[in-house]
Amino acid sequence: MTATKNGILNSKVPEGDLHEIWDLHKNNLRLVNPANKRKFHVLIVGTGLAGASAAASLAELGYNVTIFCIQDSARRAHSIAAQGGINAAKNYVNDGDNVWRLFHDTIKGGDYRSREASVYRLAQVSNNIIDQCVAQGVPFAREYGGLLDNRSFGGAQVSRTFYARGQTGQQLLLGAYSAMMRQVHSGKVKMLPRREMLDLVKIDGKARGLIVRNLVSGQIERYAGDAVLLCTGGYGNVYYLSTMAKNSNGTAVWRCYKRGAMFGNPSFTQIHPTCIPVSGLYQSKLTLMSESLRNDGRVWVSKKKNDKRHPADIPEEERDYFLERRYPSFGNLVPRDVASRNAKYVCDEGRGVGKTGLAVYLDFRDAIAQFGVDTIKARYGNLFAMYEKITAENPYEVPMRIFPAVHFTMGGLWVDYNLSTTIPGLYVLGEANFADHGGNRLGASALMQGLADGYFIIPYTLGDYLAENLHTTKVSTDHEAFETTEKETVDRINRLLAVKGKKTVLDLHRELGQVMWDHVGMSRNREGLEQAIQRIAELREEYWSNVNIPGESATYNKYLEYALRVADYMELGELMARDALDREESCGGHFREEHQTEDGEAVRDDENFSNVSAWEYRGDDKAPLKHAEELDFKFVTPTQRSYK
């Protein structure tokens, strides 16, 4: 069912010229005076870049913050694993970059499915992020002259990516973490480790509290506050295998969706082309290899099906460099979604390599011949070493085997220009919201977004809401809304534990992951999506009648934690399939086979789908209702991407 433009989705973007909208908006936002800030209590979930930066910045302003961390330390949040870098429009290299270009590349890279004003603001604050991080002591790469170094990344013709060796996420997170720990020391931030949010408490329609599980004792705890910030990252683990950390999950966003927040573009998933392939059923997660490898590596498979020869025995004329063949002008450097899809196609044809047939070669033979081993080692030494650690193969001698893997979810809870959901008082920051990346995220833009949201946007926009609520009565955790929400959570846990069936959570999660990967993955079609919706419903039934969870709830119990997350994936997966089915076009990472040109390129439908789909929950027994936020392009003109 669809309700278009029904007014629920007010993006709150003010009128004005692109470059002045954010300033105008800031001028109009209400302020909370310092004495009153002390009266407010903000609850934050997740300690990645978005959560840690928001906690630090809000506490510096004088708000009281309680932040919940799923790991034992905030420094372990998933952001720690980001490798490549963070974009900013500094133009330190003098190659013509500016805010407009960063904005334009991000909108275009997202295949024109994001909001102009939000993306422009992201580009505007990008420069402040770099300043802030350097002041915190983040050791970005530098030149001999002592100034900051930049590198280039996919989807851009300028060098605007700041990096810290191959550990940019680690260094940025440690910066935000240290700023937050300073506030822990000052008493403004209370950091609660080993806690998982399991539900949102709403009172009078507003977000007023959380139901949280203490992962050490298993106790269910209640927390009341004046606003809630979800900074819980992406939900890529719905696919079972992904490059996400094992604790990353979708429960927080899903529970809030079920409490009334709209879910934006749930099916928009990024599948990264250069990951280390699956080696067996025991595989627990996938490891990303930086996409910079495609600068020198050539992607190929044999022209013959089921060719079991050693790659060195396959002569040049029998190799198919399929990206170079199909996309002569971009070759191996086509965007992530195009590279991934083409790898899938050759594997579907039976031309995949390695034991499983689910991999393609990324070959450095020619680059080594041209530049010498030393140069290649200097460029990619650490990546080659990591590859060898995992696969026991030496990529200087044998071509790497790579395969696409789920990497990032562009979808997430729908938020307006203030980062507010449709539930007043509930804000979503970072990867958990749907906001800035449209149908496809460019490299080095997620770190930028998480920190923009936390350092430079929420400190302004949250104040506006709190100012309005200065006289709203404080609630206590004895309120009956806490009582009922806690009871629902406890019942859910007990029902799951009581099933005592025959399959492990892992078994059922693997099955769900396979359905998602096959039908809601790189290439989608009506029949497959309809099948997926049905199959997921069956799996969900089986889950609630045949899962086997060990132990009890009132103890440390990792498999119970996991089981609760998978229970939510069993619902979220279906919404993703529904959204993919509904969107009758191909855009960015969302490729519908029905919507392609004769030679297999994506076809967008700007007439009908220049919008964000935002799904409203209406009960477990009813189909969700789709709303659409129309995307009005006033400053850029959408064009069809072509990499031929």
Among residue numbers 45 through 74, which ones bind another protein (CB under 8 A)?
A: 53, 56-57, 60, 71-74
Is 644 near another protein (CB under 8 A)? no
Q: Please, what is the Cα angle at 350 between 348 and 356, to 5 degrees?
A: 90
Using CA atoms, how far apart are residues 306 and 413, in angstroms rounded to an integer? 43
Residue 580: how many CB atoms within 10 A of its CB? 26
- Shortest Cβ 558–another protein spacing (Å): 6
In this complex, which beta carbon is closest to ligand FAD, that of residue 255 or of residue 590? Answer: 255
Query: Under the criterion CB under 8 A, does residue 142 sit at the interface with another protein?
Result: yes
Which CB atom, from 56 or from 631, has the smaller least distance to another protein?
A: 56
79 to 108: interface string for another protein, x by CB under 8 A = -xx--------x-x----------------
Q: Which of another protein, ligand FAD, none lies near 128, with the C-beta cut-off 5 to 8 A by kind?
A: another protein
- Binding partner of residue 46 among another protein, ligand FAD, none, CB under 5 to 8 Å per kind? ligand FAD
Q: Do residues 95 and 151 touch, judged by C-beta distance below 8 A?
A: no
Partner in contact with 550, chosen from another protein, ligand FAD, none, beta carbon below 5 to 8 Å by kind: another protein
Q: Say how many Å lie between the first and final Cα of the chain, rounded.
A: 38
* Residue with the two structure tokens 């977000």: 207
Whole-number minimum distance, CB 78 to ligand FAD, in Å?
A: 3
Q: Cα-Cα-Cα-Cα dihedral of 414, 420, 423, 429, to 10°?
A: 70
Closer to ligand FAD by CB, 409 or 586: give it: 409
Label each residue of 429-461 as H, E or C.
Answer: CHHHECCCCCCCCCCCCHHHHHHHHHHHHHHHH
CB-based contact 438:113 (threshold 8 Å):
yes
In the bound complex, what is the minimum distance in angstroms from residue 203's beta carbon to another protein? 30
Between residue 9 and residue 48, which ones bind another protein under the rule CB under 8 A? Answer: none
Binding mask 552-591 for another protein (x = CB under 8 A): ---xxxxx--------------------------------
Instruction: Check if the beta carbon of residue 364 is closer than 8 Å to that of residue 395.
Output: yes
Q: Distance between CA atoms of 23 and 81, rounded to whole angstroms?
A: 34
CB of 576 to another protein, least distance (A): 24
Are 559 and 507 in contact by the 8 Å Cβ rule? The answer is no
Of these partners, ligand FAD, another protein, none, which one is at the site of residue 48 (CB under 5 to 8 Å by kind)?
Answer: ligand FAD
Which of the listed partners (ligand FAD, another protein, none) does 408 bind, with a CB threshold of 5 to 8 Å by partner kind?
Answer: ligand FAD
Which residue from 158, 245, 508, 612 is in contact with another protein, where contact means CB under 8 A? 245
Beta bridge partners of residue 288, listed in sequence order = 275
Contact 269, 253 (CB under 8 A): no
Figure out which of the listed residues 9, 172, 174, 241 binds another protein, where binding follows CB under 8 A. 174
Q: Which is nearer to another protein, 332 or 449 (CB)?
A: 449
Q: Cβ-count burial of 466 within 10 angstroms (0-12 exposed, 13-18 middle, 19+ buried)?
A: buried
β partners of residue 319: 302
Asked if residues 154 and 165 have their Cβ atoms less than 8 Å apart, the reply is no
Helix 168-186 and helix 49-61: axis angle, to 10°? 30
Neighbouring-strand partners of residue 264: 412, 614
Least Å distance, CB 288 to ligand FAD, is 4
Binding mask 301-340 for another protein (x = CB under 8 A): ----------------------------------------
Q: Residue 132, interface with another protein (CB under 8 A)? A: yes
**Residues near ligand FAD (CB under 6 A):** 45-46, 48-51, 68, 70, 77-79, 81-86, 168-169, 196-197, 231-233, 243-244, 247-249, 251-252, 288, 407-408, 430-432, 444-447, 450
Binding to another protein by residue 134, rule CB under 8 A?
yes
> Virtual CA dihedral for 470, 473, 477, 479, nearest 10 degrees?
-150
Nearer to ligand FAD, 241 or 444 (CB): 444
Q: Which is nearer to another protein, 159 or 287 (CB)?
A: 287
